[in-house]
Structures are given as structure tokens and as C-alpha cells.
Amino acid sequence: MGKFEITKRKNGDYQFNLKASNGQVILSSQGYKSKTTCLNGIESVRKNSADDKKFDRQKSKSDKFYFNLKATNGQIIGTSEMYESEASMENGIASVKKNAPDAKNDDKSE
């Protein structure tokens, strides 16, 4: 089972990483000013990860594949790592869809 790992950045912002059951990071958030807004971002990932249309598939200038998960309002709530192939990126999306809905929160920000 996956988990949302909540951490605190050096600048005081909170962020989360969605990790698959093997511990690999499959989605990373932006920085949030408060833990409450970070937790709201996690809930948004849980809700929006069920909708394939919310995954914005991209290709970087260096020909790597990645995706952004967007909220209903179009705001990016999480970004994937860079993948060598489109198939690997699709596997990453499938992993987010599988892990996000039931992932537990692991708060490491204290």
C-alpha cells in the first residue's frame, strides 16, 4: 500500500510525496505554507487521481516523459518524476491511480 509522506522544507513550507508500496516516489507536491493546506492537497490527489482526464501528460525538452495531476480548477497538485519512455510514464499514472485513494498519511514534518 502506498503512503503520503509529509515533510517540511528548509524554508518552512510543507510538501508531500506519494510513495508506492516499494517506497518509490510517484508524485511530488508543490510547497504549502501550512500543514492544513498540504493535507488539503493530499485530499485533492485522492479525489482527482480517479479521473484519467486530470493527468496532464508532458514531454520535457530533454525528451523525457512526465505528468502533472491537476485539480478541477486546473491547478497542478502533483508532478511525477521524469521517465525514459511513454510506457513507463503510463505505469506511473497507473500507480498513482492505484495507490492514492487508500494511501495513509505519514507525517515526518515534526
Structural domain harbouring 67: 3-107
Question: Where does residue 14 rank: exposed (0-12), middle (13-18), buried (19+ CB within 10 A)?
Answer: buried
Starting at the edge strand found earlier in the chain, the sheet holding 76-79 runs 55-59, 65-70, 76-79, 25-28, 14-19, 3-8, 104-107
> Which amino acid does the sequence have at 18?
L
Quick one: pLDDT at residue 68? 98
Is residue 1 predicted with pLDDT exceeding 90? no
> Which amino acid does the sequence have at 14?
Y
Domain count, the chain: 1
- Note the pTM of the prediction, 2 decimals: 0.94
Is residue 26 predicted with pLDDT exceeding 90? yes
Reduced to 3 states, what is the DSSP secondary structure of residue 39? helix
pLDDT in tens, 56-104: 999 999 999 999 999 999 999 999 999 999 999 999 999 999 999 999 9
**CATH number of domain containing 100:** 2.30.29.80
Quick one: pLDDT at residue 84? 97
Quick one: pLDDT at residue 28? 98
